[in-house]
Structure 1
Amino acid sequence: MTADAGPALPQGLTVEVVRAAEGWASETDLSGLAEAAVAAACAVIRFEAPQSSDLAVLFADDAHVRDLNARFRGKDKSTNVLSFPGDMDGGGPEATHLGDIVLAYETVAAEAKDEDKPFDHHLAHLVVHGFLHVIGYDHEDAVMAEEMEGCERAALARLEIPDPYGDAPLA
């Protein structure tokens, strides 16, 4: 996946990236990947960002994600990605914080290896997945899961990333 693949972010939306753990690529590379993934998701669902809106993406480690997962979801374990919706109703002339996405390096790396997927492909998928959660998508039942996965597949296709739910391993 290349950072310049796919559409641009919607006007008025910025993606703020923080690299808070070892192992991750440079903040510049992470910004390119996160912006491309979010832009692809926005294009697929025709998301129009509120004026002066932002999304924060924190590239953390398992310990940090485990702490957040325990505090906010009551699950004392790490996970690959957590999403925290922000102020979707704000808008207007003031900035709107869409929400936060937090990723756990060790879990993401282990999953990519276990699933024989390129790390950047798996990471882009998780950023798309996290963004969709931030803006209200979920996979609590089969119908919602099918819709969300369809959006993920289409967004990743725009980035020339194979279907993450397909049977064949990504090479």
Structure 2
Amino acid sequence: MPGSRFKIGHLTTRNYPQPAGEVQMIEIALTGRLFKPAVEKVVGTGEDAKNTLQFALLVDAGGDDGTWFSITAWPPLAQELAGKLTERRSVYVEGALRLNRYEKDGQERLAYNISARTILPLGENTRRGTPPPSQKREQRGTTRRAQPAGTTDRRGYNRGAVFE
């Protein structure tokens, strides 16, 4: 399904049935890197308690600026990746995006929170996440390989590690 082009990734929206007054869910897929290792946190209490994995992901648009996303992985994905998402690790993330507004120092700001459905570690200690050639793309619905950082497509756009 074609989506909107977005500076930091590729966005698609899907029409999930939503209760009245609820915001439509936005599905997002992006690559970025962690600056701190992922942290295991327990959410809920008693029988409803769930072990989650939480981390901040910096998505770099090719310049000095980037956008931070708060990522939460839920079971069983959280248990699968526990201990594997280390500092400066590049990852590919798919999930549901939620925008939260808040005020800081008198200015309204936005926080980008993603409930992850898929997290694929791409490489360690790299600036941009380029997966190894042996990694299959078919599992994500695309056969296109990531381009090395700094390469351009036939239209002159910097492709970096953006997936379509």
Q: Under a length normalisation based on structure 1, what TM-score does the superposition of the two structures give?
A: 0.28
Q: Which protein has the larger Cα radius of gyration, Structure 1 or Structure 2?
A: 2
Whose relative contact order is higher, 1 or 2, with alpha carbons under 8 Å and at least 6 apart? Answer: 1
Higher-helix-fraction structure: 1
Higher-strand-fraction structure: 2
